[in-house]
Structure 1
Amino acid sequence: MNVIPEPLPGGSALARDYIHHYEKVGHLYGGDFRSAESRAERAAWLDSTEELRADRAGIADCLRQYNLKWNPHPAVMDSLALLEQRGTLVVTGGQQSGLFTGPLFVIYKAITTIQAAKEAAAQLGRPVVPLFWIAGEDHDWDEVNHTFVLNRAGEVMKLKLDKAEDIRSSVSSIKVGEESWQQIIGQLDELLQDSEFKPQIMEVIRESSAAAGSLSEAFAKLMGSLFGRFGLILLDSADPALRRLEVPMFQALIEQNDELEAAYQTAAGEITDSGYELQAAVVAGGANLFYIHEGTRLLLHKEEGRFTDRKGTVSFSREELLEQLEARPEQFSNNVLTRPLMQDYVLPVLATVLGQGELAYWAIPRLAFKVVGEQMPLIIPRMSFTVVEGTLHKHMDKYQLGFGDVLQGLDGKRKEWLAAQDELGLERRFEDTKAAFSAMYEPLIEQLGSIQAGLLKLGANNKDKILDQISFLQAKARDAMEKQNEAALRQWERIELSLMPLGKLQERVYNVMYYLNRYGPAWLDELLSIPADYSGTHRMIYM
């Protein structure tokens, strides 16, 4: 395995400046994990505000019950025992629960979290444990119900898990039956090529769904199978037991909702005044809270002093909403702007691992942290990779292609290469023939027009038909050339499908199971052995 940095264009301007020019955007954030001084300051602040957060023992017990069910590795129990002790800090990462863990970047986020916690513990000389926050309260089923793999023929294939009910409910509460699991696992089994690791990989997948009644539970079981041995604690934000411990923060989010709204608006103004675009909506009157009514997750906003949803399905005064919270805390849920505040209340968060999109919108709640007596945690850019398999690397060398060429699209270079294989110069000769024919024929047509006006139009039509026939033969010759170079063109296609499937970065499309099936479970250990890099630089992994 050879790892080489590869600068990557794209991403929001705010995320790019956070990664490459932190001095320009530091005023929009709470600190940079890459600074040893920031780490020490954040740790000291967490020590001094221990009493402002949820009770450690209660949180640890709640997480212990959850992880004993889905992630019971002894290393996780050790992490939880440490978390229970005053002074232990946490590095968090998180994502929605995707099918078979979702795209590769979820795996890279977990790896970043584990490595950052280990590094921080060594630097600070105190326990720092890794935790993965599963956003099971999110309701965007269509975003998480599918994944992509390369099949045996090297084609991009989509696997999709359907749900029985068309209801806007949290992903963790959407039931997935045994029959649905068997069907989707069978499809994956058919798509993955046979390998020495396949029986083991498929067994892990089957075990993950055996007791899982939802996508979130299967996700937790799989993530535990992959990362439990590294002490990675799992948390489902939709866990009813956790929700009861979150009541004091939900109470603050309701009671201080107007102040929070003002803080979001002010921070949004600072971001746009600094020349950046907002990466999450900051809506006037938005409560930034969800209420679950008859299984449907409703986004609340404020209207004439009441909390209601856009359709008016529910309506509460502030006091009534607080009464609902006291009676039924499981009916409440955070959105993207209040979840960071809740995470900071539940856990002593030293730092949180974010992708570029998240990194940009996390600047919005910066001032909101202060409203509820918190401070924004440090932010770590998620590590980012593209895996280049051995044969693929050889093909790229053969055609003198770099990753930058693939990013830009290979159509132009592929045509150039194919043209270079034309030893007879057919393309040039066909174009010369058409030009020569037109040069000879057009004067004749003009002369015919002097004899009879109708011959001018007839001659022009005749010329176009002859040129069409020449072009037809040219296309046939081009097809023959492509047929002659069919094996090579398949190699070009495989490069593009592997590194930029569907026009996106590999890590945003493909599922880890393809690579575990190819290289075995030890491949994760190899990834974790790659030196940590929190600069946000994309890296190529040449297998």
Structure 2
Amino acid sequence: MQSVNFRYLFPNYGGVTRLFIDYVYNFKNVQRFYNYNFNDLDNLNSLIESVLKNYKNREKVVEILKRQNFYYENFSAREKLELLSRDNTLAVVTGQQVGLMSGPLYTIYKIITAIKLSDFLSEKFKDFNFVPVFYLESEDHDFFEANHVKVFNSSNELVKIEFNPEDTPRENYGPVGEIKFNDRFESVLRKFEEELQDSEFKNDVISFVRSTYKEGFNFAESFAKFVGGLFKNHGLVFLNPNDAELKRFLVPIFEREIDEHPKLSNLIVDVSAELEERYHAQVKPRAMNLFLFYRGGRYPIEPAEEKGMFRLKGARFKFSKGELKHILETNPQALSPNVILRPICQDTLLPTIFYVAGPSEIAYFAQLKPAYIYFGLPMPVIFPRISATLIEPKVRKILEKYKVEFEELFSDFSSVAKKISTMDSDIDIDGFFKVMRSRFESLLGEVKDFVLGIEPSLGGAVDNSASKILYHINNIYEKTVNANQKRNEIILKQIEKLKINLFPENEIQERVLNVIYFLNKYGFGLIDKLFDDLEVFEFNHQIIYL
């Protein structure tokens, strides 16, 4: 298995930051910002004990998770849910917004990481159970990040296929997970059928999409059914936090934030200032780290000018602290955590021992250690997700033909393109044929002199033959020039094919392409291949040949 050091991706690709580079390769430089070194798995017992000791409401949460997962027809999670009900079971958690058909490829890599890590831990720590859980970020309100997929069509063009529930898009759709697919979604499915290239797997793929994305389903439900179907052999458990019963367990967190704000935010600001001395602060805390669902939207709550009053940013709505507390008591589902509080809510609902994170998440977890201390929760181990590029046979052929190294490919694609295009630039067609013409003209001159010495009347015949010979040489020259131009066009097309397949939209493949493109070409067996080929403890960008 080949891989590329993340340093070759920095700073151009994959959200790779200086902090992430140190996290992966020089953890001692950042260890003060985290609770545990993800590379040290031999001394987890104290953290395991702390997580199990602090975890509450196991029985009730598992019952809710059974209800959710069975509603999503995720029956393969039954065994893992039974394990989760036991007092010696911990969760290996990952999460993502509920993007259309799972969103970019890195969501798939997150899930594979969580499942494989759970299996490894179960083997290593025989006295405990480890269950992979996907935390559906269904309350996120950035609809336009979740409403589309990008795939290559039969012409190898990158196309964006998106769903819009209305003719005129709204600025704030509220929690994306609750948005339902209406009759407009049929046109999205037809677009898929038109754009996906024909293959032996196309009918099965389209049928699978149609069975998981139906009119009347919402984004969270369809996401869970789609991903659950892909990973039906692995017992992945889903948790949807936008649930009235689950929100009851989060009331103490929300109440403390309401009563004590901006205390938590000030703690985050302090650690952010320390981070920025060397790195960067990924997220900015608000005075209050809560949203309110209001009139179909999701709006940040912020203090108003009047003492003891609050307002919604982006909506004309003010209310008192007493009114906010009344909402919390009577309808806690109307409140929603922001990026600062979401991990705290997640690890209150689950006995989280590991959280599988991408580069940007690892960066913002560096700001959250004070939040875990503030709420008296053990901070989980933050484990880097698998990162990978899939190399198709047509791309591999080009790479091998031009002897391209992956390090140079990721660090400076423009230099690779130049290398390929100038590989045979020493061929001088004009110079070669100029020399050849001169030689032929000289030889033909000698022939004419020789013939004239024998019979002067043959001079015209020699000139006529010489003209024909030079004509044919010029004809060969023109054909050679045209052939070379076509060859260069092929090289340019190969360079373009490389770039669009490996760096669509000038980003690495995993952050743009949807898994549907690859399933359509290689079948559902692709998931098993990825499980077999991807290494969970390979902390570099992995290269997988298809």
Aligned to 1:100: 101
How far apart, in 1, do the equivalents of 2:27 and 2:411 lie? 28
Structure 2 residue identity aligned to 1:173: E
How far apart, in 2, do the equivalents of 1:64 and 1:225 lie? 17
Asked if structure 2 preserves the Cα contact closer than 8 Å seen for 1:306 and 1:316, the reply is: yes
How far apart, in 2, do the equivalents of 1:428 and 1:141 lie? 60
Asked if structure 1 preserves the Cα contact closer than 8 Å seen for 2:143 and 2:176, the reply is: yes
Shift of 1:18: 0.8
How far apart, in 1, do the equivalents of 2:485 and 2:36 lie? 55
Structure 2 residue identity aligned to 1:48: K
User: Residue 122 in 1 paired to residue 123 in 2?
Assistant: yes
How far apart, in 2, do the equivalents of 1:479 and 1:134 lie? 57
Asked if structure 2 preserves the Cα contact closer than 8 Å seen for 1:15 and 1:359, the reply is: yes
Shift of 1:247: 2.4
Shift of 1:195: 1.9
How far apart, in 2, do the equivalents of 1:504 and 1:167 lie? 26
How far apart, in 2, do the equivalents of 1:482 and 1:326 lie? 74
How far apart, in 2, do the equivalents of 1:416 and 1:44 lie? 56
User: Residue 6 in 1 paired to residue 4 in 2?
Assistant: yes
Aligned counterpart in structure 2 of residue 489 of structure 1, from 489, 492, 499: 492
User: Residue 325 in 1 paired to residue 323 in 2?
Assistant: no
Asked if structure 2 preserves the Cα contact closer than 8 Å seen for 1:197 and 1:516, the reply is: yes
Aligned to 1:66: 68
Aligned to 1:350: 353
Aligned to 1:266: 270
In 2 relative to 1, CA 33–423 (structure 1 residues): closer, same or farther, beyond 3 Å? closer
User: Residue 173 in 1 paired to residue 174 in 2?
Assistant: no
In 2 relative to 1, CA 348–418 (structure 1 residues): closer, same or farther, beyond 3 Å? closer
User: Residue 214 in 1 paired to residue 218 in 2?
Assistant: yes
User: Residue 366 in 1 paired to residue 369 in 2?
Assistant: yes
Moved more, 237-246 or 420-429: 420-429
User: Residue 184 in 1 paired to residue 182 in 2?
Assistant: no
How far apart, in 2, do the equivalents of 1:318 and 1:502 lie? 46
Question: 3-state DSSP class of the match of 1:485?
Answer: helix
Where in structure 1 are there 5+ consecutive unaligned residues?
Answer: 430-476
Shift of 1:48: 2.2
Aligned to 1:196: 200
Shift of 1:234: 0.9
Aligned to 2:151: 149
Aligned residue-pair number: 486
User: Residue 24 in 1 paired to residue 29 in 2?
Assistant: yes
Structure 2 residue identity aligned to 1:67: N
Question: 3-state DSSP class of the match of 2:79?
Answer: helix
Structure 1 residue identity aligned to 2:140: D
Question: 3-state DSSP class of the match of 1:139?
Answer: coil
In 2 relative to 1, CA 202–122 (structure 1 residues): closer, same or farther, beyond 3 Å? same
How far apart, in 2, do the equivalents of 1:501 and 1:380 lie? 27
Asked if structure 2 preserves the Cα contact closer than 8 Å seen for 1:268 and 1:282, the reply is: no
Aligned to 2:299: 298
Shift of 1:478: 9.4
Aligned to 1:541: 544
In 2 relative to 1, CA 208–514 (structure 1 residues): closer, same or farther, beyond 3 Å? same
Shift of 1:176: 1.9
Aligned to 2:281: 278
Moved more, 188-197 or 356-365: 188-197
Aligned to 1:78: 79
Asked if structure 1 preserves the Cα contact closer than 8 Å seen for 2:421 and 2:491, the reply is: no
Asked if structure 2 preserves the Cα contact closer than 8 Å seen for 1:212 and 1:218, the reply is: no
In 2 relative to 1, CA 425–136 (structure 1 residues): closer, same or farther, beyond 3 Å? same
In 2 relative to 1, CA 374–191 (structure 1 residues): closer, same or farther, beyond 3 Å? same
List per-residue Cα deviations over 1:146-176 (Å, max 9, x = no partner): 1111111111111111132515111012232
How far apart, in 2, do the equivalents of 1:428 and 1:147 lie? 51
Aligned to 2:49: 44
How far apart, in 2, do the equivalents of 1:359 and 1:379 lie? 7
List per-residue Cα deviations over 1:107-139 (Å, max 9, x = no partner): 000100111111112222211100001111000
In 2 relative to 1, CA 402–424 (structure 1 residues): closer, same or farther, beyond 3 Å? closer
Question: 3-state DSSP class of the match of 1:225?
Answer: helix
User: Residue 507 in 1 paired to residue 505 in 2?
Assistant: no
How far apart, in 2, do the equivalents of 1:197 and 1:378 lie? 39
Asked if structure 2 preserves the Cα contact closer than 8 Å seen for 1:95 and 1:135, the reply is: yes
List per-residue Cα deviations over 1:325-367 (Å, max 9, x = no partner): 1111121111111001101111100010100001001111211
Question: 3-state DSSP class of the match of 1:299?
Answer: strand
Aligned to 1:471: none
How far apart, in 1, do the equivalents of 2:41 and 2:419 lie? 50
How far apart, in 1, do the equivalents of 2:64 and 2:39 lie? 31
How far apart, in 1, do the equivalents of 2:482 and 2:310 lie? 65
Question: 3-state DSSP class of the match of 2:233?
Answer: helix
Moved more, 299-308 or 326-335: 299-308
In 2 relative to 1, CA 119–487 (structure 1 residues): closer, same or farther, beyond 3 Å? same
In 2 relative to 1, CA 531–541 (structure 1 residues): closer, same or farther, beyond 3 Å? closer
Asked if structure 2 preserves the Cα contact closer than 8 Å seen for 1:174 and 1:214, the reply is: yes
Asked if structure 2 preserves the Cα contact closer than 8 Å seen for 1:71 and 1:228, the reply is: no
Aligned counterpart in structure 2 of residue 308 of structure 1, from 311, 319, 324: 311
Asked if structure 2 preserves the Cα contact closer than 8 Å seen for 1:20 and 1:535, the reply is: no
Aligned to 1:255: 259
Asked if structure 2 preserves the Cα contact closer than 8 Å seen for 1:167 and 1:295, the reply is: no
Q: CA RMSD in A?
A: 2.3
**Structure whose CA Rg is larger:** 2
Asked if structure 2 preserves the Cα contact closer than 8 Å seen for 1:291 and 1:297, the reply is: yes
How far apart, in 2, do the equivalents of 1:344 and 1:318 lie? 27
Structure 1 residue identity aligned to 2:275: I
Shift of 1:495: 1.4
How far apart, in 2, do the equivalents of 1:417 and 1:209 lie? 43
Question: 3-state DSSP class of the match of 2:336?
Answer: strand
In 2 relative to 1, CA 425–378 (structure 1 residues): closer, same or farther, beyond 3 Å? same
Shift of 1:287: 0.4
In 2 relative to 1, CA 197–276 (structure 1 residues): closer, same or farther, beyond 3 Å? same
Shift of 1:310: 3.2
Question: 3-state DSSP class of the match of 1:36?
Answer: coil
Shift of 1:522: 1.5
Aligned to 1:341: 344
In 2 relative to 1, CA 23–413 (structure 1 residues): closer, same or farther, beyond 3 Å? closer
Where in structure 2 are there 5+ consecutive unaligned residues?
Answer: 11-15, 433-479
Asked if structure 2 preserves the Cα contact closer than 8 Å seen for 1:268 and 1:364, the reply is: yes
Aligned to 1:35: 40
In 2 relative to 1, CA 219–299 (structure 1 residues): closer, same or farther, beyond 3 Å? same
